[in-house]
Chain A
Amino acid sequence: MIQIDITFVKKLQIKKNPKDFSMLFQFYGPKIKALMIRSGSDYAFAEDIMHDTMLTVWKKIDLYNSSKGSFSSWIYTIARNNRIDILRKKSSQPYVDINEVEMMSNDPDSEKIILDSQTAANIKKMVRQLPQKQKIIIEMAFNEDLTQKEIAEKLEIPIGTVKSRMRLAYIKLKEGFKEYQ
């Protein structure tokens, strides 16, 4: 099994070697497709998004900046934006997302967040440790791509409760993240 770490990513940034990208594809491709299927996409659509995402990674790899976030979170935002683009747009107004721009930019004022395997493990731990009611909402938002309204309907709770649980989850995650920094 290939190890996708910052050294490997930096190697790709220095030289866009197709063979190395095939390894990246084999690591992330099946995961992106699975994530899209879990968000409600059918198999063919999920694979199209995966393909577009990996092509974007190939084209933009030079612009990934590890001080702005982890490589996996960068790939996540690209996959999410591709999905939004295809689902909502198919028009002359593609989704413009500052996340992607921000993470590629080189703003010296930003705090550094480098996601190594330890930090990733800590974030997983923090999400797992959230109270069940908050964890369900976070999982529904990220795993199933649901809006606040859809989460409220699914759980049969007021939308205000969804929001307050999201806020509480943020406070807990932020505290936990600081602790691990």
Chain B
Amino acid sequence: MKLSQHPDPASLLSYSSGGLSTPFSILISAHISLCNTCSEKVKLYNEIGGVLIEDTADADLSQDALNKFMNAIVHESDDRLPTDSKNVDIQQQNNNTEIPFPLYKYIGSSIEKIKWRYLAPGIKRVSILMEGEKNAYLSLLHIGPGKKIPEHTHTGEEMTFVISGSFQDKTGVYNIGDLADHDEEIEHQPTVIGKHPCVCIVATEGPMIFKSFFANLFQSFYRI
């Protein structure tokens, strides 16, 4: 798939080094699953991690570490592909859906099956519970054709991955598979373009800050 909007290389580096919170990592994973360009960037970063391992001076292991490991592998059945058949299965199942594999376990196999909650006229939302995450959130949005999210900035980073439809803001047009990677400095007003609704998944570090008083009042009730 040829994609036009990609994550910041700095975000990809943080993804590779393990420095992104889970909601953001999930969105990058979804994008990479469709984007060879970003996948190659992450591979380069991963090679740095590989070199790092080879370059690391050894730490002392506990006396029984090797025995513990040998006991564990001897007691493992010698079945081939014991755990990864699960991953392969999920990928194969996912080939028939519009949801990229890394999102599949969080939102299911089909947009049609999502149980939306009304948020505002033309806008529906589902919050995805991220256990163990205190400062990062994941939400799924369904925005009708022509609808606008009120102009806003953020209290932290915001990433948006497009699952279906398209939207645009002052940074560009975002289609299926594209990822908008915005920091707190950006002020924008995403608008759905085309005849179809836009379904996107959004990772945030904090609530949006709207320019309009009424939108902020709305935000205080609905916590978007």
Residues of chain A whose beta carbon lies under 8 Å from any beta carbon of chain B: 16, 18, 21-22, 25-26, 28-35, 37-38, 43, 46-47, 50-51, 54-56, 58-60, 62-63, 68-77, 79-80, 83-84, 88-93, 95-99, 101-105, 109-111, 113, 115, 119-120, 123-124, 127, 138, 141-143, 145-148, 150, 159-160, 162-164, 166-167, 169-171, 173-174, 177
Residues of chain B whose beta carbon lies under 8 Å from any beta carbon of chain A: 8-10, 12-14, 16-22, 25-26, 29-30, 32-33, 36, 39-62, 65-66, 68-70, 72-74, 76, 78, 80-84, 87, 91, 101-102, 105-106, 130-133, 183, 185
A37 x B132 contact (CB < 8 A): no
Contact for B16 among A70, A99, A115, CB less than 8 A: A99
Which residues of the other chain, A, contact B8 by a CB distance below 8 angstroms?
163, 167
A-B contact pairs, 26 of them (CB 8 A): A30-B58, A31-B53, A31-B54, A35-B52, A38-B56, A50-B65, A55-B69, A56-B83, A58-B76, A59-B82, A72-B50, A73-B47, A73-B50, A74-B50, A89-B22, A93-B22, A98-B32, A99-B16, A102-B32, A102-B33, A103-B43, A123-B47, A124-B51, A142-B48, A169-B13, A173-B44
Contact for A25 among B17, B43, B66, CB less than 8 A: B66
Interchain nearest-CB distance for B136 vs A (Å): 10
A95 to B66, CA, bound (A): 27
Dominant SS among interface residues on chain A: helix
Chain B, Cβ-Cβ closest to A4: B54
A49 to B143, CA, bound (A): 42
Which residues of the other chain, B, contact A147 by a CB distance below 8 angstroms?
14, 19-21
Which residues of the other chain, A, contact B50 by a CB distance below 8 angstroms?
69-76, 115, 120
Which residues of the other chain, B, contact A109 by a CB distance below 8 angstroms?
36
A29 x B130 contact (CB < 8 A): no
A60 to B88, CA, bound (A): 12
Interchain nearest-CB distance for A129 vs B (Å): 13
Tell me how many residue pairs across A and B have CB atoms closer than 8 Å: 227
**What are the nearest 7 A-B pairs in CB distance?**
A73-B50, A30-B58, A72-B50, A76-B49, A166-B10, A34-B59, A91-B131
Contact for B65 among A51, A72, A79, A119, CB less than 8 A: A51
Chain B, Cβ-Cβ closest to A83: B18
B58 x A101 contact (CB < 8 A): no
Interchain nearest-CB distance for B13 vs A (Å): 5
Which residues of the other chain, B, contact A95 by a CB distance below 8 angstroms?
22, 25
Dominant SS among interface residues on chain B: helix
B39 x A102 contact (CB < 8 A): yes
Contact for A138 among B30, B48, B65, B70, CB less than 8 A: B48
Contact for A22 among B40, B59, B66, B106, CB less than 8 A: B66
A89 x B132 contact (CB < 8 A): yes
A54 x B13 contact (CB < 8 A): no
Which residues of the other chain, A, contact B83 by a CB distance below 8 angstroms?
56, 59-60
Which residues of the other chain, A, contact B51 by a CB distance below 8 angstroms?
72-73, 120, 123-124, 127
B54 x A33 contact (CB < 8 A): no
Chain B, Cβ-Cβ closest to A119: B47
Which residues of the other chain, B, contact A160 by a CB distance below 8 angstroms?
183, 185
